[in-house]
Amino acid sequence: MILGNESVLNALVLLLPLFLFLRWSWIRRRKALERLGNIELLERLTVHVSREKQQAKLAMIFFAILFLILAMARPQWGMKETALVSKGRDIIIALDTSASMLAEDIKPNRMARAKHELDLLIDRLQGDRVGLIVFAGEAFVQCPLTPDYSAAKMFLSEVDVGTVPVPGTSLDRAIDMARERFIETERQYKVLILLTDGEQTTGDPMPAVQKAASEGIQIYTIGIGSLSGVPIPIRDENGQLVEWKKQKSGELVQSRLDEGMLLKMSTETGGKYYHASADEFELQKIYEDIEQNRAEKTQRSLLTVQYEDRFQWFLLPAFVLLMLETILSDRKRTPVQEEKAKS
């Protein structure tokens, strides 16, 4: 036998003071009668009162409370199989916010277009929880997993280039951050949609990818940008072009997409890779893939074994004892009643 709410048993320590209180009440009543006059005379006057029944009624109250405490502790024994329904997916979107997202090979620029397409994707979700991670040289959670799509879109609207002040592109940090958020959930279906336009600039993302795969996380990658590379504009507050982003050496920075790495990441986890173009951002295809066989995803049951609650075995005697205590009279049977009982 196990207990579902073992802490309730702490209330058992109250039974001793309860017993002492009931005993004290009994003795106090007896002494009160003695103070009223001759004890022999009083016993003759109370000849029809049964002390045994009075004591029995007190015992019923005591044991009823004992059984109630045991019932509240939720005793469990015996096993049963229970179907747990897993509904929907947990979907985390990891969005690159590095400076290269300002490139304008996708109009008006990569960041603005990515936010627009993600906004449309969130509108299509049904029954799923969605979260948002932003990353550059570091990663952090912009929006935790939530079924509130309006809140997710509000957090998305606040994202821009420079949201993460650490320069670079750290895909492994984005994946590890998503893994940490997924570990906190119990859902079976977990999807990470990774949008990036740059090469990994620090470390190797594959160890993080392999950990994600072992935890059942599917990674869909979307590569944004040109394979040959495009310059990154720097504009003033009025949107006027000031210059092109350059390295310390004065050489023009070219944002190039590493398709091979992104393809390898998605294949490793059972996801897919898409290359975003100026005309098609490919999020619709990812959505269709997530929605495929939705009936199976939303209705699939996981079989689990659980102990059965048996609190009713203790609640029933508590109820019976309290009923008997209420019904039972503390008076003795008269000779007439005893004769009727025998006949």
pLDDT 10s digits, 312-336: 888 898 888 888 888 877 666 655 4
At residue 301, the pLDDT reads 45
pLDDT at 78 over 80: no
pLDDT at 339 over 60: no
What six digits make up the tokens of 329?
């009279």
Q: Hey, which residues does 244 pair with through a beta bridge?
A: 233
Helices then strands, counting H and E runs in the chain, come out as 12, 13
Lowest mean pLDDT among 42-51, 126-135, 158-167: 42-51
At residue 237, the pLDDT reads 73
pLDDT at 213 over 90: yes
Lowest mean pLDDT among 8-17, 40-49, 128-137: 40-49
pTM of this prediction?
A: 0.59
Query: Mean per-residue pLDDT for 240-249?
Result: 70
Reference 278, options 341, 231, 215, 226; nearest CA is 226
Band (267; pLDDT cuts 50, 70, 90):
very high
At residue 38, the pLDDT reads 58
Q: What is the average pLDDT value for the chain, to the nearest integer? A: 79
Contacts of 169 (CB under 8 A, 6+ apart): 96, 98, 100, 135, 136, 137, 196, 198, 199, 200, 201, 202
Query: Mean per-residue pLDDT for 160-182?
Result: 90
Domains of the chain and CATH, by start: 2-79+309-342 (no CATH), 87-299 (3.40.50.410)
At residue 77, the pLDDT reads 75
At residue 293, the pLDDT reads 45
Instruction: Calculate what percentage of the chain has a pLDDT beyond 90.
Output: 24
Encode pLDDT of 272-289 as tens digits. Answer: 999 887 777 778 888 888
Query: In whole angstroms, what is the distance from residue 178 CA to residue 132 CA?
Result: 9
Handedness of CA 30, 36, 41, 42 (dihedral sign): negative
Query: Mean per-residue pLDDT for 174-201?
Result: 82
SS3 14: helix
Query: In whole angstroms, what is the distance from residue 67 CA to residue 62 CA?
Result: 9
What six digits make up the tokens of 205?
């993302």
Band (179; pLDDT cuts 50, 70, 90):
very high
Reference 216, options 235, 198, 192, 236; nearest CA is 192
Query: In whole angstroms, what is the distance from residue 135 CA to residue 192 CA?
Result: 14
Reference 170, options 201, 134, 210, 206; nearest CA is 201
Between these two residues, 302 and 95, which has the higher pLDDT value? 95
At residue 32, the pLDDT reads 67
CB 203 within 8 A of CB 176: no
